[in-house]
Amino acid sequence: MDQPKIVLSLMFFTMAFAFYGMTALLYIINWVFRKRWIGQTATAMAIISAFTMLMMLIARAGESGHAPFSNLYESMALFVWALTVGYLVLEFRYKLKTLGAFVMTIAFLSVISASMLPYKFKSVAPLNPALQNKWKWMVNLFSKVGLENYAIGWLDFHVFATFIGYAAFAIAFGISIMFLLKLRNEEHGNSGLFSRLPESKLLDEISYRAIAWGFPFLGVGIVSGAVWANYAWGTYWSWDPKETWSLITWFVYAAYLHARVTRGWKGKRCAWLSILGFLAVMFLYWGVSFILPGLHAYA
C-alpha cells in the first residue's frame, strides 16, 4: 500500500514541539524572575508556536486531502492551536503573563502526548464512509468557481466547535489550579513564588469566563454532532459512549454555572468543579477513544 507523504506536516509538528517547549519555559522563567524582556519573548514565542501549529494543520490537510480533524493526532494539533489562540486573546485582554506559565505548560504537555501516540492514531488515512459529509449548498456554491473540494460539512463544523469548547475548558482548568495555589498562598501570608500570581478573585472570575465560553461551544458541538448522526447513522441520539460522556461533561459544567450564577458559589468549590469538569473532558476526549468501544472510535 502506498502511504501518502507526511514529511511537511511532520516537520512543522517537530518545530512546534520545540517552540512549545521554549514558550512554556519562557513563561515559567518570566513568572520566577519577572523580567520584562523575557515576558515579551514568551508572548512572541507563543505567537510563533501557534503559527507553526497552524502550518502543521494546513500541511496535513494538503497531505490527506481533507480537513485535519479525522484522528486523535490531528485533533490534538487542533486542540493545542485553539488553546494557544484562546490564551493569547486572554493575555492581550487582561495583560497577565503569569497565566502563560500554567496554560502554555498544559499546551506543551498536550504536544508531548500527541507525539507519543502510537502510530495507528497518527497515520494519514482517507475518510471512512461515515466521515464523508459536506454541505450540499456549499459544494454547489463553491463548484461555480471550481473550489468544491474546499467546501466544508458537518465533520468540520462539529469538530471545530467542540475543540473551541475543549480549549476553553483547558484554560479554565489551568486557571482554577492557579486559583487554588494562590488562595493557599494568600491564606498563609502571601509570600513566595505563588504570591506573584494575580489575585485569587481575578483568577476565579477569569476561569468562570473561560467556562462561559466553553459551555455554549460544547453545546453547539453536541447539537451539530446530533444533526450529523441523524444523517449518517439514522438517529440523532444513540447513547454511544462519546455522546454520553459529552452529556456528562455538559452536566458538570451546567452544574458549575448554576452553582455560580444562581447560588452565588465562588472560589474553592467552583475551582474544584472546574477541575472535575476538565477531568470529564479528558476522559471524553482520550478515555473514550482508548477504553470504550463505540461508533465514535476515530477521535
Partner 1 sequence: MSKDKEKTVLQKTLRKRIWSFFNSVLLTIGTMLSLALVSIIGTVVEQNKDMETYIQEYGEKWAGYISWAGFNDMFHTWWFSALLGLLVINILVCTIERFPPKWKVLLANKPNFSPTFIDKLQHRKVFTVNADKDATDTILKSFFKKKRYKFLEESAKDGSSAFYAWKGVIGRYGSDFTHISLFVILAGAIIGSVYGYKSFKVITVGSTINMEKRAGFNLRLDKFWIDYYDTGQIRQYNSILTVVEDGKDIVEKQIWVNEPLLYKGIRFYQSSWGTSWNKVDAAEIGFKRKDDEESSTIVRVKWNTKVDIPDSPYAVKVIGYAADFAFDDARKAVFSKSMEADNPAVMVELYKDGEHISSPWLFLKYPGLFSSIPDSDDSLIFEGYRGVLFSGISVNKDPGTNVVWVGSCIMGIGFILAFFIFHKRLYINIKSNGSSTEVKIGGVINKNTMALEKELEVFCDHFEKKQKTHKREF
Report the interface residues with partner 1, using CB under 8 A.
Answer: 1-2, 125-126, 128-130, 132-133, 205-206, 209, 212-213, 215-216, 219-220, 223, 226-227, 230-237, 239, 241, 244-245, 247-249, 251-252, 254-255, 258-259, 261-263, 280, 288, 292-293
Q: Which is nearer to partner 1, 79 or 245 (CB)?
A: 245
Q: Which is nearer to partner 1, 41 or 244 (CB)?
A: 244
The answer to whether 160 touches 69, Cβ cutoff 8 Å, is yes
The C-alpha atoms of residue 159 and residue 157 are separated, in whole angstroms, by 6
Q: Which is nearer to partner 1, 135 or 142 (CB)?
A: 135
- Report helix, strand or coil for 92: helix
Q: Which is nearer to partner 1, 148 or 205 (CB)?
A: 205
Instruction: Provide the minimum distance between the beta carbon of 179 and partner 1 in the complex, in angstroms, as a whole number.
Output: 15
The answer to whether 185 touches 194, Cβ cutoff 8 Å, is yes
Q: Which is nearer to partner 1, 58 or 248 (CB)?
A: 248
Helix ranges restricted to H, 188-267: 200-232, 241-261
Instruction: Provide the minimum distance between the beta carbon of 113 and partner 1 in the complex, in angstroms, as a whole number.
Output: 22
Cβ-defined contacts of 4-11 (< 8 Å, 24+): 4/63, 4/64, 4/124, 5/63, 6/60, 6/63, 6/124, 8/59, 8/62, 8/63, 9/56, 9/59, 9/60, 9/63, 11/59
Backbone angle region of 96, left / alpha / beta, with phi > 0 → left and psi within -120 to 50 → alpha: beta
275 to 105, 126, 159, 208, 259: CA distances (angstroms): 16, 36, 23, 12, 15
DSSP classification of residue 130:
G
Q: Which three cell numbers stand for residue 109?
A: 504537555
The C-alpha atoms of residue 275 and residue 287 are separated, in whole angstroms, by 16
Q: Which is nearer to partner 1, 47 or 212 (CB)?
A: 212
Q: Which is nearer to partner 1, 10 or 130 (CB)?
A: 130
Instruction: Provide the minimum distance between the beta carbon of 292 and partner 1 in the complex, in angstroms, as a whole number.
Output: 6
